[in-house]
Structures are given as C-alpha cells and as structure tokens.
Amino acid sequence: MDPHRPLSGDERRRLLAACRVYLVVGEASSGGPWQDAVARALSSGVVGVVQLREKDVDDATFLARAGTLGRLARAAGALLVLNDRVHLAAACGADGAHVGEDDLPPAQARRLLGPDRLLGVSCHDAAEVAAASALGADYAGLGPCFPTGTKALARRPRGAALVGEALPGARLPVFPIGGITPDNVAALAAAGATRVAVGAGVLRAADPAAAARAIAAALATS
C-alpha cells in the first residue's frame, strides 16, 4: 500500500476483510503515551486496522494524535479509523469512523463519511449484528466479550457464547471486542471468531508485537 495515495472504497473494504487483528489505541488502552507500543504492535505485520479512541480530548488534540497514528498505520499498511469523531475523518485522511450506541446515529455518520470511507458500528447481540449492514455499516464490533479495565461496561461480558450466537447471522465482518488477550482469544476462535479488536491486551503487553502475533495465530487455527 502506497502511504501517500488515498485509497478507494473498494481497496479499504478489501483490506478490512483481510484484517484479523484490529487495534484500538488510546491512553486508556495503553496506560499512557502509546506511540512506542503501537509502533511495536504494527511491526508484527498482523495488525490490519488501528482505531484512535480518545474520548476526553478536544478536536485539535485529537487531530494531532490522529496524524501521528495515521503515519504509523500507513507505514505498516494498516487502515486508520476514528472512534466517533466522524466530522474529522476527512480532515485527517482517516479511512473511516466507528460509532457506538451513544455516538452519532449510523445513518447520519454514513452521510458524513460518504461512500468511500468505512463505517463501523458497535453491536451487543445477534439481532444488532444482523441489522448492521442495513444501517450502512461495513463492519461490526461485537461485545463485550470479557471484563476490561479500560472502559465502564453497561452489559455483562458474554465471551464465546455471544460470538457463537451472533456470527451465523452476520453479513459483514465482525470483530469481537472487550478484554481480549492472547490468553483468552482461543475461546473466541473456538466459537468461530476469525478476527478480533483488541487494545490493552496488546498495547500493555511486555512485547506488543509478540502479543499481536499470538492473537493472530490463535485465530488462524479456528
């Protein structure tokens, strides 16, 4: 992937479909400054998407961090997605945005993003996953799977049972999320997961590259 050439919508969707490890980046998931941990994770060669998730900074600070993360992602051939801040996607050259249930409605996010940028939506059960495509989404995040210390959970984590229920009805890529680590990802793989979204499980690892590779390897055996 040429880091200096904007991607088409089809190219972005092909890269998304090939992604097995989707990395959620922010001070909460990394426990502080994240640049070094992200660079090490990307050096693994298995991270296909990076999402910038910074809920508590202003737009100017977010844009600066998105620029840094975007350069790291591009150099590694990964896509850049913004959490929520749909209005900033074009300004920082992001490949898309991800919205949760308390963010901009998916239909409005799609209108702002246009047809060529990716839209992800957060889902919590099989019915929401099955409906995601009709909302204009390109992919779904599914969770929470396991307990996590990086955000407050409004729902009980349901792990492999949630994955096993939701994947059969999915019409788009689904990334299980929430407390995933190299130690527990095998349970999701056994339930049918072939891709996951992960934050602290990679970024807080002693060796982020090794953690990312371990997760990818577990998914490859499903």
**Catalytic-labelled residue, pool 122, 158, 204, 213:** 122
In this structure, is residue 141 part of a structural domain?
yes
Q: Determine whether 53 is an active site residue.
A: yes
Concerning whether 13 is annotated as a catalytic residue, the answer is no
Model pTM?
0.96
What per-residue confidence (pLDDT) applies to 2? 66
- Owning domain of residue 173: 9-220
Asked whether residue 208 is domain-assigned, the answer is yes
Residue with tokens 């909460």: 28
pLDDT-derived band at 178 (thresholds 50, 70, 90) equals: very high
- 84 occurs within a structural domain: yes
Is residue 122 flagged as an active site residue? yes
CB 73 within 8 A of CB 50: yes
Is 148 a domain residue?
A: yes
**What is the per-residue pLDDT across 49-66, written as a single tens digit (0 to 9) for each?**
999 999 999 999 999 999
Query: In the numeric block, which tokens belong to residue 36?
Result: 């070094």
- Say if 1 falls within a structural domain: no
- Structure tokens that stand for 123 in this block: 């889902």
Q: Is the pLDDT confidence value at 32 over 90?
A: no
Question: Which residue reads 């844009």 in tokens?
Answer: 63
pLDDT band at 1 (very low <50, low <70, confident <90, very high): low
Q: Whose structure tokens read 């499903």?
A: 222
In a domain, 2, yes or no: no
The answer to the question of residue 120 being in a domain is yes
The structural domain count of the chain equals 1
Residue 175 lies in a domain: yes
Q: Residue 127 is encoded by which pair of tokens? A: 């019915």
CATH number of the domain enclosing 133 = 3.20.20.70
Q: Which of 43, 133, 151, 222 is catalytic?
A: 151
Read off the pLDDT of each residue in 149-178 and give the average, rounded to a whole number: 91
Q: Which entry of 20, 53, 74, 195 is annotated as an active-site residue?
A: 53
